[in-house]
Amino acid sequence: MLEAARVSHLLLESATTLARSTGARAIVVYVDALPEVEAVPPQTILVARDTEDQRRIEKLGQSHPTTINVPDVTLDRFGQVKLAAIVALSNRVIDLGDAVVFLTGPFRSLIDSMVVMSIGAEYELFDTTEQPTIDEHIKRAVFHRVLSLALALGQHGREGRRVGALLVIGAAKQVLEHSEQMILNPFKGYDEKQRNILDQSMTETVKEYSSLDGAFIIRGNGVIETAGARLKVGLSEGLPSGLGARHAAAAGITANTKSIAFTVSESDGAVRVWRAGRLVATFGPST
């Protein structure tokens, strides 16, 4: 047996023992990081990126564990953990307060690391104090779709060129009250079905308009209200050092409305998620 596979098997055994002794809710591991998919321990949540991962899971038949799907983007070890945690939380397969064992490794390589996490304050995105739960005002599919688009923009940009972007979802009426158009609204006059972000044909349109200054404003059901909007609220106090106007606008709009904002940094492709005026998650480029 190759050394890498031996390490993976030992980690799987250790994760099972650790999960049992700590009362962990689940073990979370990416399908393509397993030495063989049949090796999954009990209470495992499998993370799939693409159709090949799904095919591997289907080979398990009726016995396969809970599965979540995440965007197929290159992230470092901890970025993969954060992404899996956020999607698992939003799908309610784990909850705030749960202890979870994450197994991870280099992108699309066998597991070589274990992270034990109590899902808590670091995921303020799902802290519903004074905020509706995500599926109350934003469809989970819309949240996942916008996150996927933001990550794709951060990683690939537009035609190989880095772009900055700001996408705001939820409480669109409130958000619009705090905004003004910098350009003519490119989505005005189109049927709602034609401008829903859940429609895969919108991908290139969103990428094209991401090069415009201003924000996308998107309803919780996925309908894009506008692009190229200037948000008239900003919040620079408490903003991490080095973040500029786009991030201040994201902090400001989420502090003043029941919305979630995604920023894509033009300088390094980092994707940041904002809620209630706070930065709640960051996905940096893989190193």
pLDDT given at position 30: 95
Angle at 139 between CA 79 and CA 42, to 5 degrees: 50
* Contact by Cβ (8 Å): 64, 42: no
CATH no., domain 3-119: 3.40.1380.20
- The DSSP bridge partners found for residue 116 are 101
Q: Which tokens go with 50? A: 């693409």
> Where do the domains of the chain lie?
3-119, 134-283
User: Given a cut of 60, is residue 126 above it in pLDDT?
Assistant: no
d(Cα 181, Cα 219) in Å, to the nearest integer? 17
238-282: per-residue pLDDT in tens?
777 778 889 999 999 999 999 999 999 988 889 999 998 988 889
Which pTM does this prediction carry? 0.84
Yes or no: is domain 134-283 CATH 3.30.565.10? no
pLDDT given at position 131: 54
* Structure letter (DSSP) for residue 219: -
